[in-house]
Chain A
Amino acid sequence: MTAAVFFGCAFVAFGPALALYIFTIATEPLRIIFLIIGAFFWLVSLLLSSFIWFMAATLTDNKDEPRQRDLLIFGVLISVLIQEMFRFAYYKLLKKSSEGLKSINPGEKAPSMRLLAYVSGLGFGIMSGVFSFVNTLSDSLGPGTVGIHGDPPQFFLNSAFMTLVIILLHMFWGIVFFDGCEKKKWYTLLVVLLTHLLVSALTFISPYSGLNLVLAYIILVLTGIWAFFVSGGSCRSLKLCLLCQDKDSLLFNQRSR
């Protein structure tokens, strides 16, 4: 496959995450550290879920195709569960560390929990996306023809878009999850878990129909809107941002009426 496919898919999958990293995280050292710790937590959750799947696979030791597929589905579900558990664990760790930071260093402003929610979500997302897609990407540089056996030829593009949606979803889930933990709204955690399970389950549907991709993007938009409102955004602030007005002029307009 060509270099165009490689670069195109790489930028489709990782472009937004890279832009978010460069513009919001790369400038602050503490955020970079929290991002990497978030990535590490995701990695550990993957390790744990792989171990469970591996144990299950070796214990059953059944070579039937449907049995293997069932085991895989089981592995996916367990993995999602463990990822959300580790997200909660990371939340607990951040809570403890921010208290510690405040007590030791009262002068310095510790990052807010909202910011940490965003950073941790992005960390999870980046690691998840990279692990899902990097091997596929490196294969796309090599020789071959996609879809030579009748599979759809948009394999790489589909994977790239799916990776993108997963990365962004992790980010939104992080924001919503942490907010739910902060405000003790435990149903939020359940909703995040169910949404994650839904998105993963969608990939069980034939990956070649494109339906799972469309549904995933719909879920992305909905979760994004939810995260926007949870993190303090409002219709007014959105209008301010889009119309490039500052607060004063808006107030002035209102006052003059």
Chain B
Amino acid sequence: MPEDRGGAGTFGGRVMLTFMASDSEEEVCDERTSLMSAESPMPRSCQEGRQGLENGEGAAQWVGSHQQSKASGQEPESEFGCQDRQRRDERTRGQESEEDHEEDPDRYVCSGVPGRPPGLEEELTLKYGAKHVIMLFVPVTLCMIVVVATIKSVRFYTEKNGQLIYTPFTEDTSSVGQRFLNSVLNTLIMISVIVIMTIFLVVLYKYRCYKFIHGWLIMSSLMLLFLFTYIYLGEVLKTYNVAMDYPTLFLTVWNFGAVGMVCIHWKGPLVLQQAYLIMISALMALVFIKYLPEWSAWVILGAISVYDLVAVLCPKGPLRMLVETAQERNEPIFPALIYSSAMVWTVGMAKLDPSSQGALQLPYDPEMEEDSCDSLGEPSYPEVFAPPLPGYPGEELEEEEERGVKLGLGDFIFYSVLVGKAAATGSGDWNTTLACFVAILIGLCLTLLLLAVFKKALPALPISITFGLIFYFSTDNLVRPFMDTLASHQLYI
């Protein structure tokens, strides 16, 4: 859930829409969380909520940045990611090899700079709002482009070759009513699996089974980066009739996968990490597009948005429980698989002493911090840079500019599934795909705006998916005949 605490809007701080936590997040989270946990006693207003999204759980949540000063101790430091991952691992084990349900929607709430005066915060919030929206638009657009390009060119992903075990009912029925019933049943099964997994993850988290979660995540990301990439590469080569010998193939896939594991789970250049995250989101989305039957996919998308809405806004949701548990324990957050556009990892500070800010800021170059983050990445990092002033365990390194926006990978995946399905089934029509694309971007924009207005946790999936679904069905059934008729008569409006 995105939470916007205090006066700061989501834009000023880190707006994180954490959605899916794939495997490798765990490692990264550890570093980051260890960095964050090394802060002052006041918990970093970073909340991490994760929804077990594994199978289409659209737990896109907005994370609002909030001031620590305003976070009157109610910052949930939830370790949803762990639970989600664990749940995901469980689910992965029970799945066929083709199924890749590693994504758990992780909601990541991170607060921004603590202790800033409210007016300044608001100004900073709005000043960087548009920039952060664009920082989200670009990766979402890239992911969608990859998915649509693949769908339109590679036949493999539009062929029907079986279904996931979570959607056992077939849609090859004779009557429309039966087909609809089957799709609803498929959706019910999938959503209930997700809910059960979330609850299981909450339970696991409560009993601190971290190693289990770590292992599961590593396995999931291994499968995603190696197996699915191999399949994808194979299909692309088949489509373009390019021959590749096995040694070259092995070398390519090995390099791609190994660098991906390092970048995602450990450290790597930010751009490379972002690229890998976008690629694995696209791969996951392609898997969903291939294996979800048509009507089930649409109903699942709708149900996921509703579930996301309910889980984020209802007080008894598993996500809330995770958040509260993490908060009670004051444990480091496990960042789930989140796409981050930030250049610098902020090491939050409990209190910001204005008088000492000048002195503190000097040794904390953004570049320096980034370098040290990359080179050290140890929990002791904040201690290494601990300022000589007592009572300040950490330093506020984050400048407003560097506070990037974080979006969960589950959001990427479900947006891409929607657009990809529109491209796959829209009878070869590009207008439908474009309409869905614009609708999703507008939904993302609106969600950010709502977050800035309401200043509390909001899910990121519902608005975009709703717009996307409305525009898909209306464009496919109303606009397409109109535009086709106009085009055939060469009329322009």
Interface residues of A (CB under 8 A from B): 28-30, 32-33, 36-37, 39-40, 43, 46-47, 49-51, 53-54, 68-69, 72, 75-76, 79-80, 83, 101, 104-105, 107-108, 127-128, 130-132, 134-136, 138, 158-159, 162-163, 166, 199-200, 203-204, 207-208
Contact = CB atoms under 8 A, between A and B. Distances in A.
A108 B435 contact: no
Given A135-B429, A207-B489, 9 more contacts: A36-B441, A43-B438, A46-B493, A47-B474, A47-B475, A108-B126, A128-B493, A162-B492, A200-B493
Contacts of B122: 104-105
B481 A36 contact: no
Nearest to A202: B492
**From B130, B487, B491, residue with most partner A Cβ within 10 Å:** B491
A134 B486 CA distance: 13
B490 A51 contact: no
A48 B484 CA distance: 16
Given A162-B492, A203-B492, A37 B445 contact: yes
B230 interface: no
A72 B134 contact: no
A50 B478 contact: yes
B127 interface: yes
9 contacts: A29-B130, A30-B130, A33-B133, A36-B137, A39-B438, A47-B474, A51-B474, A54-B478, A108-B126
Contacts of A162: 492
Interface in B134-175: 134, 137
A229 B211 CA distance: 69
A37 B482 CA distance: 23
B42 interface: no
Given A47-B478, A203-B492, A105 B134 contact: no
A16 B87 CA distance: 51
B438 A200 contact: no
B329 interface: no
B487 A136 contact: yes
B108 interface: no
A134 B430 contact: yes
B130 A33 contact: yes
Contact of A43 (B428, B471, B482, B493): B471
Interface residues on B, range: 35 or more
A134 B431 contact: yes
Contacts of B189: none
Contacts of B441: 36
B482 A75 contact: yes
Contacts of B483: 50, 131-132, 135
Interface of B: 122-123, 126-127, 130-131, 133-134, 137, 428-431, 434-435, 438-439, 441-442, 445, 471, 474-475, 478-479, 481-487, 489-493
Contact of A127 (B130, B133, B438, B489): B438
B492 A200 contact: yes
A135 B479 CA distance: 13
B442 A46 contact: no
B490 A47 contact: no
Given A29-B133, A47-B475, A105 B127 contact: yes
Contacts of B434: 130-131, 134
B486 A72 contact: yes
A153 B459 CA distance: 52
Contact of A33 (B438, B445, B482): B445
Contacts of A68: 485
Contacts of A75: 482, 486
B138 to A, nearest CB: 10
A50 B482 contact: yes
Nearest to A131: B431
A75 B479 CA distance: 12
A36 B491 contact: no
B481 A54 contact: yes
A134 B490 CA distance: 14
Contacts of A104: 122, 126
Contacts of B133: 29, 33
A68 B485 CA distance: 10
Contacts of A128: 493
Nearest to B434: A130
**From A32, A46, A108, A208, residue with most partner B Cβ within 10 Å:** A46
Contacts of A130: 434
Contacts of B435: 43
Contacts of A199: 492
A75 B404 CA distance: 46
A251 to B, nearest CB: 37
Nearest to B122: A104
A200 B491 CA distance: 7
Contacts of B123: 105, 107-108
A134 B152 CA distance: 14
A76 B429 contact: no
Contacts of A53: 482
A29 B491 contact: no
A36 B486 CA distance: 24
A33 B490 contact: no
A203 B130 contact: no
Nearest 9 pairs of A and B residues by beta carbon: A207-B490, A29-B130, A29-B134, A50-B482, A30-B130, A50-B478, A79-B493, A50-B479, A134-B430
